[in-house]
Amino acid sequence: MSMLKVDLELVKKYNVPGPRYTSYPPATHFTKEIAPEVFIGNIRANNQTERDLSLYFHLPFCYSLCWFCGCTTVITADQKKSGEYLRYLEREMDLMKPLLNPKRKVVQLHFGGGTPTFSLPDEIRRLGEMIHSRFTLAPDLEAGVEVDPRRLTREHLVALREVGFNRGSMGVQDDDAVVQKAVHRIQPFEMTRQVVEWMREVGFHSVNIDLIYGLPHQTPGSFAKTLEEILSLTPDRFGWFTSRKAPGRNRGRRF
């Protein structure tokens, strides 16, 4: 019987905190020191080739705060906020479009947050139309979105597929009810199962599930049960993150 070989040196190399992968450059490198003319000059220099583009849209709104979260979020129950935010995104796209080489094709598209599915289905369709009318999307586009199963409807997923999304990701973190209460995220396993089924019904090609270890009240036994339940859904991918306390904050931060 063959045994899986693990390169422990490789594990040690990458078992360290790092910047969040969803933004480049990461927020730790943001600065006000770069003058607009330098910024625009860099964009123009970057456009000398027709190489592919990747687009990331940060949709920051959430109805409630998960206490392990380290994302840039806006906690609100005011649904009008998402429509107002779309208007600003449209203005930003109109400012950027003249600076980009029109021959460059978008091969990767990602909606992150916050909770992108805070937006109503028709708002998702509207944002999709904005993107399609301003950028050239490749036929084999990889388009991924983060969803929150707690307030998701099947219509959200239908709208996402209509505008081209084919990869879905959701946070689960832990299925144990005690752990969920401790981190302020109540999400029964059956809710997660329902969303996975919906994603496959409407045609998502890939489903990812995120888990976190190191949360309050977790035990090896309880987390093993969570793993068994998640693997029963046969996700195409799953992410396994550590939790840590961020200095000066009263909640954990996910890496």
pLDDT given at position 23: 56
For the record, the structure tokens of 77 come out as 């129950």
Which stretches in the chain have pLDDT values below 70?
1-4, 18-30, 34-35, 37-38, 244-255
Q: What is the pLDDT of residues 187-200, one digit of tens each?
A: 999 999 999 999 99
Cβ 226 vs Cβ 186: under 8 Å: no
Q: Which domains does the chain have, with CATH numbers?
A: 52-254 (3.80.30.20)
Instruction: Indicate the pTM of the whole model.
Output: 0.83
Beta strands in the chain (DSSP E): 53-59, 61-62, 74-75, 105-113, 136-147, 167-173, 206-213, 237-245, 252-254
Closest CA to 195 of 250, 246, 150, 129: 150
CA distance 251 to 244: 9
Largest CA distance in the chain: 62
pLDDT given at position 198: 98
Cβ 175 vs Cβ 211: under 8 Å: no
Q: Which amino acid is at 243?
A: S
Return the exposure string of 232-241: e unless at least 16 CB atoms fall within 10 Å of the residue's CB, then b.
ebebeebeeb
Q: Edge-to-edge strand order for the sheet containing 53-59?
A: 53-59, 105-113, 136-147, 167-173, 206-213, 237-245, 252-254
pLDDT given at position 18: 66
pLDDT given at position 3: 55
Degrees (nearest 5) of the Cα angle 100, 105, 109?
Answer: 100
Q: What is the pLDDT of residues 142-187, one digit of tens each?
A: 999 999 999 999 999 999 999 999 999 999 999 999 999 999 999 9
pLDDT given at position 255: 28
Q: How many CB atoms lie within 10 A of CB 8?
A: 9
